[in-house]
Every structure is written in structure tokens, then in C-alpha cells.
Structure 1
Amino acid sequence: MQLETYISDLLYRYECVTVPEFGSFLTQRVSATIHESTNAFYPPKKRLSFNEQIQKNDGILAHYIADVEKIPFEVASKKIQKRVKALKSYLTEGETISFDAIGELSLNNEGKILFEPSYHLNYLTDAFGLSQFVTPTVTREVYKETVETIENVVPITVTPEKRKARPYLKYAAVAVVALTLGGFLASNYYVKTINQHNSLAQEEANQQLESKIQEATFVIDNPLPAVTLNVKKQYGMYHIIAGAFRVEENSDKKVAELKAKGFDARKIGVNKYGLHQVVYASYEDRLASLEALRTIKKTQSKDAWLLVKKLD
């Protein structure tokens, strides 16, 4: 019985093929490799090894032989036992057993089985059809030497000496361009973010205003008397909006109401919708404005929102 033929067939399917009372042939997947000196490329494969300690019958080999030869399992097991007995006899006598496409088995001085795998067959089905190949060495240095030789005979505008002269200028120029471009992009992103913030906040405020527009356009019977105010120079670009009014007298009333509560309230002009905007206060620091906005939303009005705008 050609036992190695059946073992070879099973090595395609299993990582361990056990020959009862003899040992097991093991496979381990190995990735594709390249030989540094020969430039040879090797496809992925299964590396073969042999473990004499694994001898317990798992039934795989016997079942396969029984199925192929159309014989009972017990008969297949006996044929394996007979073959193993012969193999051990050959090894004891100092012979080397060669399994075609698998490898060679022999005994060392300590009576242990040595296994030398064969590399003629790849048991990894995923690599079917792939074979090793050798690529020629890339001779970049040879071409470089040839070009420099030609330059010594026929002067070229860019000589080796000029190539070596002050290369840091090239990198400095690249760095300047990169920094300029990075700053431009960052600036555009910042401006775009602020515009989006203002647009969303203004749209939300306008929606709330439309729901209360009737109240905003009422004529107040007893408007506050006109007063002359010493307007301080406007400062900061972070403004907490208290409201926007179509009638300016109502915005003046709102400013007076907020000032009575202790806020540094003021009008910051008319927005693009023609509404007079009133702020609780303006801030130069973004974090301070956000902290104040949270407090105002909790204690004064949930409709307050933050406008980011540099006033003229």
C-alpha cells in the first residue's frame, strides 16, 4: 500500500494527518517571501513538519483509505498497522524512508525520527498555480555612474556639483509654500466655521421671531422717553444676543431693561433682516462668552444665542 499517496492527499485538506502508532505530519501556513541575494520570489505555502509524539488514531487516515479503496474501516486500519510496522523496521535498520512529495524520514543517534521535508509540492490550495520567479537586479547605480560620466564629457546645465550645492534652499522653499498654504486653508476653515455658526444661530432666532412677530410689531402706548447715552466704544467679537426688534423703540426698552438687571447691554446695529439687535454683553474671550451664555440660558432666557462677529 502506497501510504504516502493517501497522506499527501489529506495534507491539502488538513493541518494534521496522523499515522497511528507512528507520528503526525503537520502543516503551517507561510506567507510569500523574497530571497535577498537571489531576488527570487516564493509564493505562500504550507510548511511541512513531523511530530513523533502525536500518534493517537483520529480515524482520518483510515476513513480516507477505506473510502478510496472501498474496504471496511477495520481492514483499512489493519493495512495501516502493517505498513507502520514495516516502516519502523526499515528505520531501525538505519535506512532512510522517502515519501514522494512529502519528505524523508530517518533515525538519529538517540533513536528519534528526523524529518527532512520536500519542497517540490505546495499543499496550500490558495496558492494553486503560483510558482517562484526571479526578478533581475535593479541597476540604478550603474545608470547614475553612466550619466555622471557623460556629464563630465558633455557639460550639462545641472552638473553633479550644482546638484550638491545648497540643497537646503530647496527644502526651505518647500517648507515656506507648505506653511503658507496651511495657514491659508486654516484661515478659510475658521472663517467658514464662524459664518456657518452665525447663519444657523440667526436662522433659529428668526424662526422664534416670526412666531412672536405680532408682539414685536405692537406699538407701545407708553414708550420710554428718549435719552441721550454716552455710548462706549464697541469691543469684542463674541456677542450674546438678547433679541432682535423691528421697532427700534422696543430695542431701546430691552436695553434699558437689561441694564437695570446689571448687564452691559447695548444695541449692535441692524442685521440683514432689518431687525435691531440687542446683546446682553460682548466678550473678547470665546470661553468667557460661552460660560456667560450658559448662565444666561439658565437664569434669563433659553432663546439667547451667541453671535461671532467683528463689529466696525
Structure 2
Amino acid sequence: MMIQKHISDLLYRYQCVTVPGFGAFIAETESAKVNESTATFIAPRKVISFNVNIKNNDGLLANHISLQESISFEAALEKINTQVAFWIATLNQGNLVDFPNIGEIKVSGAESNWVFVPSNNLNYLTASFGLSNFTSNKITREVLKQQVEELEEKAPIIFTPERKKNYSFLKYAAVIAIFIGAGTAGTKIVYDRKIEAETLLVQKHVQEQVQNSIQEATFFINTPVQAVELNVAEEKMPYHIVAGAFRSTENAEKALSMLIEQNFKAHILPENKHGLIPVVYGSYKTVEEAEVAKQKIQLEYDKEAWLLIE
């Protein structure tokens, strides 16, 4: 049960948590969405899936257990291997393996395939803390058109001669108002055109002064402006495929030279807290790119290569 909790804790911070010899739990971010059939608003979240093909040890889970339980890295690996053997035996017997707040794995079909069913009880996306799903009741709007038609049938409008005289007065008043408005609009148009012409003259004068200033600056600058160096931030690549870690700088540089001769974009990372100097095959922006590169390197060059995540 403790290892399941360690896996759950790591899913808050990492996209991929690999259990050596068993498989990998992958967290993919999903945007907020609306379920129209149930009128439910679903907050952004991490969707958890399981990939049985990713089994190589990347050191993430073992290092986390080592730090949390104050045991050595080797002891943490032994603990993981024991638990994995128990899980595999449980699945081979046809029973399911439960990972609290993550999901469960069970055997299905004649070929005894492993099927992962996510739990969805816990949202591992830290940016969505405090947000929960909610259901909104449908809004039923009144149909006003039918009510108006019913009112017109019950209370028809009758025009009397007196009302016709009043409407004639309103008609003449409307005509007068239109003429007054037209006159006001015409006056406004003339005024706007005058303002626009004056504005163009001012802009033209300003442009002439700017051009004269530019010409003077061009011909009378004696001391050239020194070039300014801009420091551009390097693109962050937190995923590294490690070839080895050395206590000697000389050995690390030898390993680096060998990798460069094999056309790898190899480089040396800063010394870690254990006093070791990691030499990596290459670094990558996403965990997906790093996983593809790691599997290729393990297949063609070094099966002991592992993934380091900063």
C-alpha cells in the first residue's frame, strides 16, 4: 500500500511514473469541458492511463522512496521488486490490483490482457485545486409570443376619430423633428470636415519637423552608439538520458568524448548532491521525446541507460 501512495504523490508533479518491471502511469492534462447530456461542468484535470510496455527503471520512484523512507537506493529497488512480484502473481491468479485514488488493473479476455480502469476520484492537476464539478439546472424560458397574441385577441385596438387627429399631430411633429435633425446633422458634418482639415495640416507640420530632426541626427552624430548584448534565456530541457555518473572529472570527460564520437548530443550535467558527475546522451523538452530516445538507446547502445528528471 505504501508504494501505491508514493506513486500517487509523484503523479502531482510528473507526467510519467514508471514502476520498474511492471509498467508506467501516465498523466495527461485535459481542459475543462461540459457534458451536455447531464448539464455538468467538469474542471480541468489530469487523466491517468497505464502503459504496460514502459518497464525500464528511470530511478524516479526508487529515489523518491529512498528519500521519503530514509533508506538506500538499492533497498528501495528491492522493495519495489518485491511488491511488483506480488502484483504480477495476483493478476496471474485472476484477481485485480487496486491503486487507491489512481485506478485498478485487472485481467480480461482469453489472452489474459491487463486492463486499467482509472479511479477519477482525485484530480492530480494542482492548478485546479479548489475547483469541483457542478451541475446546472436547465433554464426554461417563457414563450412570450403566444401570450402577446392571446392579449391582442382579448383586447383589440379600436381607433376613434379623436385619436386619428392626435396621430396626425404626432405625424407633423415627427416631420418637423426630422428637418431639425437633418439641419443639425448637416451642421455637424461641416464642422467635422473643418476639424479634419485642420488636423491634417497640424500632422503635416509635425511630420516635417520630425524629418528635419532625423536628418540633423544623421549628419551630426559623432560618437557611435555601442552595441548592446542581449542575453537570451536558454530553452529548458529537464529530461536527460544518463549514460553514467562519475566521481572523477577526467573519467566524465572521457565518457563524453566517446558519446560525441558516436554522434550523440552528449554533455555533462553539474555535480549532484552525491558527489557524482552525470554524463548524458542528450536532453529533451518533454517526457514523451525522452522516453522514445531512451528506448532506442537501450535497444541499440546501452540497456542500462536511464531517464533523469530535473
Provide TM-score, normalisation by structure 2.
0.51
SS of the aligned residue for 2:104 comes to: strand
2:118 pairs with 1:117:
yes
2:95 pairs with 1:95:
yes
Give 1:78's aligned amino acid: E
Q: 1:6 and 1:201, CA in 2 relative to 1: closer, same or farther beyond 3 A?
A: closer
Q: 1:13 and 1:204, CA in 2 relative to 1: closer, same or farther beyond 3 A?
A: closer
Aligned equivalents of 2:127, 2:207: Cα separation in 1: 60
Q: 1:49 and 1:190, CA in 2 relative to 1: closer, same or farther beyond 3 A?
A: farther
Aligned equivalents of 2:50, 2:188: Cα separation in 1: 63
SS of the aligned residue for 2:4 comes to: helix
- The residue that corresponds to 1:173 in the other structure is none
Aligned residues: 181
Aligned equivalents of 1:184, 1:130: Cα separation in 2: 58
Shift of 1:154: 5.1
SS of the aligned residue for 1:107 comes to: strand
Match of 1:196 among 188, 195, 199: 199
Aligned equivalents of 1:136, 1:192: Cα separation in 2: 56
Shift of 1:146: 7.3
2:51 pairs with 1:48:
no
- The residue that corresponds to 2:104 in the other structure is 104
Q: 1:199 and 1:22, CA in 2 relative to 1: closer, same or farther beyond 3 A?
A: closer
- The residue that corresponds to 1:151 in the other structure is 151
- The residue that corresponds to 1:28 in the other structure is 28
Shift of 1:113: 2.0
Shift of 1:119: 1.1
Aligned equivalents of 1:35, 1:184: Cα separation in 2: 57
SS of the aligned residue for 2:67 comes to: helix
SS of the aligned residue for 1:121 comes to: coil
Deviations 1:101-149 (A, max 9, x none): 1111023333432111011111111111111111110101x45377458
Give 1:38's aligned amino acid: T
Q: 1:198 and 1:21, CA in 2 relative to 1: closer, same or farther beyond 3 A?
A: same
Q: How does 1:216-255 map to 2 (within 5 A)?
A: none
- The residue that corresponds to 1:128 in the other structure is 129
Unaligned ranges ≥5, structure 2: 158-181, 209-310
Unaligned ranges ≥5, structure 1: 158-179, 206-312
Deviations 1:189-235 (A, max 9, x none): 76544322334557999xxxxxxxxxxxxxxxxxxxxxxxxxxxxxx
- The residue that corresponds to 2:67 in the other structure is 67
Structure exhibiting the larger radius of gyration computed from Cα positions: 1
Q: 1:120 and 1:193, CA in 2 relative to 1: closer, same or farther beyond 3 A?
A: same
Give 1:124's aligned amino acid: L
Structure number with greater CO (CA < 8 Å, separation at least 6) is: 2
Give 1:136's aligned amino acid: N
Aligned equivalents of 1:184, 1:93: Cα separation in 2: 94
Q: 1:204 and 1:136, CA in 2 relative to 1: closer, same or farther beyond 3 A?
A: closer
Aligned equivalents of 1:71, 1:48: Cα separation in 2: 29
Shift of 1:33: 1.2
- The residue that corresponds to 2:86 in the other structure is 86
Q: 1:87 and 1:156, CA in 2 relative to 1: closer, same or farther beyond 3 A?
A: farther
- The residue that corresponds to 1:236 in the other structure is none
Shift of 1:20: 0.5
Aligned equivalents of 1:60, 1:204: Cα separation in 2: 64
Q: 1:46 and 1:203, CA in 2 relative to 1: closer, same or farther beyond 3 A?
A: closer
Aligned equivalents of 2:126, 2:18: Cα separation in 1: 20
Give 2:2's aligned amino acid: Q
Q: 1:85 and 1:152, CA in 2 relative to 1: closer, same or farther beyond 3 A?
A: farther
Range that drifts further, 192-201 or 59-68: 192-201
- The residue that corresponds to 2:248 in the other structure is none
SS of the aligned residue for 2:50 comes to: strand
Please, what is the CA RMSD of the aligned residues?
3.4
